Structure 1
């Protein structure tokens, strides 16, 4: 639940000082304070927990088993998009590519010297090879923890299988026609060869993509970090089958869709040294784009309707005591998320600006992942009729204040506008110059005389 913090002291004057009198009443009315209504600036602020986010992050993973043959960058180094960062040596990937290339060539030559009795056997062999490839893809997808991502990847595998099955059905129909003596052998051989070529082409594309991915290139510009992130999974069928090192989830889940696969236990460095062994999916390097830092805040459902793009905010970091940073709301999510406390919150994305210390010196630059508190100025009123929040009480469901008329207290309904925790705007009911009870409202009754 977001809270409304205390406003700056300059905005929290109980009343305008000019011409104001505040005094405690006699012993029988101890604790009751009367003051004059004045004008002031009032700001309504919402507190929300937040996390500093990078603009983007991408993790490069090993596409196959092998060794890290070459590491061409150092931790902390800035790299450009497309720059070669590392090369992996994988004899097994090279051998699979060689076999896939030979199988593709054989599939393209298929159809020469084939008898009617051979059609069924060839068809079954093609089906077996295709089934093994799709089963392997489904097993890889089933290991992903994120249920939504797992479902999306399984749909992609299903789509690829449907393409193959369409070609296979055409081959079945042609073979059946030949066996019934209703069509020529050439038509059946042609249909069967098309299915074989499709299966062989898919296997070759996968093997070729795996070999190409052995050269790891930076997908984005940024700073190099060894190892990977904690939230990770490939996002396409090629990556799922081990073909490429995809992007890694950044601090903000919206900046990228994928990342490294898990990570080591606490206290274990996951950096892979040059010459070190890797397996398919091992995180090798992560690139983090910190050119523009942001914030990902969680605003409670009771406050989110007041938040909109363009609102300004001040930010405090746990790691930078005494520093204050500027921020501006970029967007508010439409769909909610469950907060750690079990309530419903909405993610608010902000751009993070410069920070300053109490002495006016520049504040240190934050790092992605740091905890913060965002103070969102959702509403404000200048030169408003304002009273202390302690002066307002509930009277049969309506806001009211005690107003002094001829020395006696009278209950007056009011309409509240902008609400700070300590100072609130009064839209109607009282005017500047009126004298009201600002403390001890629960000790007053209607018509009570106040000296």
Structure 2
């Protein structure tokens, strides 16, 4: 016969009956949890998928307050050359042509100025001849006056000798007193004439020097006039002030222009700068010397603010940046450049990634994520940078905040975020 399984069976004791009090407690806990879950669901405005949101975590670090600005490369030195005098202009260059410093770019034909220069040059040559002749005449006048003075000295010596002989003859009784006195008077007369001749020689020399100096001053004045006219004639040739490229021509060849008319524009490619447009809200923070970073061909170059426009155009302020280090090679005028202006650095502050949801509420509210519930909390933001914003109050380190997509919440106080 087939043996059954009775030998394998074992008698089990039944579990003791649970107290009804614990059963009611368990039921009450389940009811409370269900009520809280339903209450949380009812208090939220609805559910939003987390894939439609972008979250940021509050951290601590250094905040560099900056702003991005788009700009373009411009020539820091781009002078426009003007006609100094009226006349017919002959252009020597074409637009886009490279020229060296001092190269003749255009030449102005001014017959009146050329005639005046030649006329004054002839007058200068005439005055030089008159000055040289005056020098000869002055020397002759001095020599003549000196000869007369020397002759008077010789006459005085002769009169003195005659007076000495007359004195000896008078003492010996060979000469009358009247003749003796006449010789003495001749000596006195010769002394007077000699003294006047010496004085006259000095006066003649001074007079000759004055006349010669007057001729010399006239000559110098004429030389200055001719030098000024030579400079003006040389300015008829319009020269390049530096190594540059001819940007644009304001006239066509052989055009008659008036004095002060623009002729052409040069572009000095050795001195390039970057003009950037900064939002008007940052105008008070702009100042000459402010540091900046410029992204050019994938590399970062240091710069600084060199000049700021005094006016606001289309809610933008124009600022000019110059390179602090060596200027990068291969730059082209009007090339687009992305710049970053560095205003200040705040160390050891609470940081939150920047997002449109923070800006939408004016920086006063944010949605903090607690588990599956996003709660609207009041916050206070401080300085902002391109990528981050400073958290002054309302959030702590490690808090997860909705920085993008909060417009789906419709300003609700609580929203459920689902996976």
TM-score (norm 1): 0.46
Q: Between Structure 1 and Structure 2, whose CA radius of gyration is higher?
A: 2
Q: From the two aligned structures, give the one with the greater helix fraction.
A: 2
